[in-house]
Amino acid sequence: MDGEKADESSVLDKLDKQIIHGLVTDARIPFARLGAILGVSEQTVARRYRSLRRRGMVHVAGQVNTVPLGRTRWILRIKTAPNRAVALAEALARVPDVSWVSLLATGFEVTCVCRPRSAERQEELLLRMIPRASQVLELSVHEVIRQFPFEEEWPRYGYLFSAGQLRELGPRPPMWEPRGPETPVALSREDEAMLAILARDGRASYAQIATATGWSASRVTRRMSELIDSGVLYFDLDFALERMGYVSRAMLWMRVRPGELEAVGKAVATHPEVAYVAATTGRSNLSASVVCHDTAHLYRYVTDSLGALPGINDVEVMSALRIFKQSQTLVDDRKIAVAP
């Protein structure tokens, strides 16, 4: 099946899913190499990828991990008046260092993740800008102290590959532990220009980045590898979740006995419904983002998968009424709209 039929539908066929898995594993994998692994032409892979982007189904973005820069990540829970929640979520979604902005089903709580790049920006966001917003009635801030890695990233389409194909594709780069280096990584003006381009398009060409930075293409290649190796730069994919058939999304806030927190976090990271799980500060010490097909699926996940784990004392399930922004992109009419 070629790309034209896929253009007319939000349904992903097997080849679409295989291409997505290839990008999840290596966001900048050459299409010629991915096509060779899948047994199709480079042109077919490129056409399918362009179709996925044009339909607002997927977006590849370069992301900055603030931990090697000497900063941390924060999850915010913001209570507001019901009639002001949408305006608050829309405003937060347009802040560059704020991601995963959701309005929860209570109708008056907005959650988001903040990744300030400097101490000054952290103070501006957490102590001035957000707390002083007229829509904010109550704010709780939770520091991410450990993000648990996945053996396979969501949406976990690896089962569509043979063992040989998976070996050819290779493993995804390991997730960096959320701890700061002895000496924080310093970013130059040229680094910032490159990171800005990759935030808009994680597959931007080396030539395009070279033009923006004034570097040669070889220097761009070398510096990008250095930033990846240092943990500063990583690549992430945003998806049109609802159009992929996942209409029930939720944030879970769990209270886990401290001695079992590591084991529970690792176990939750193996669940196919889980897209993110981290240990945090605050009254709840483990949070997870869950993606399910429907409410019945969410119920089975909470009662069966989580219910089977020892060590969890309490679970607060907060369904997402609407997602305004994922890691990098805004979400509009159930599809990926723009990268702010």
- Same domain? For 250 and 295 the reply is yes
Q: Does residue 305 contact residue 319 with C-beta atoms inside 8 Å?
A: no
| Domain-embedded: residue 134 | no
Counted domains in the chain:
3
Looking at residue 2, its pLDDT comes to 43
User: For residue range 159-194, what is the model confidence (pLDDT) as tens digits?
Assistant: 999 999 999 999 877 665 555 556 778 899 999 999
Residues 287 and 160 in one domain: no
Which CATH number characterizes residue 39's domain? 1.10.10.10
Note the pLDDT of residue 68: 86
Alpha-carbon gap, residue 27 to 202, rounded angstroms: 7
Q: Distance between CA 325 and CA 268 in Å, rounded?
A: 24
In a shared domain, residues 163 and 272: no
d(CA 251, CA 239): 17
- pLDDT in the model for residue 6: 41
The whole-number pLDDT of residue 206 equals: 96
Ranges of the chain with pLDDT below 50: 1-8, 340
> Do 161 and 308 share a structural domain?
no
Range of the domain at 200: 186-231
Within 10 Å of residue 198's Cβ, how many Cβ atoms?
24
Q: Based on the fold, state whether residues 218 and 276 are members of the same structural domain.
A: no
CB 254 within 8 A of CB 289: no
For residues 295 and 258, state if they share a domain.
yes
> Contact, 104 vs 318, CB < 8 A?
yes
Distance CA 203, CA 339 (A): 14
Q: Which amino acid is at 270?
A: T
Q: How far apart are CA 248 and CA 297, in angstroms?
A: 8
Provide the pLDDT for residue 172.
78
The residue assigned the tokens 């480079």 is: 42
pLDDT at res. 305? 96
Residues in the chain: 340
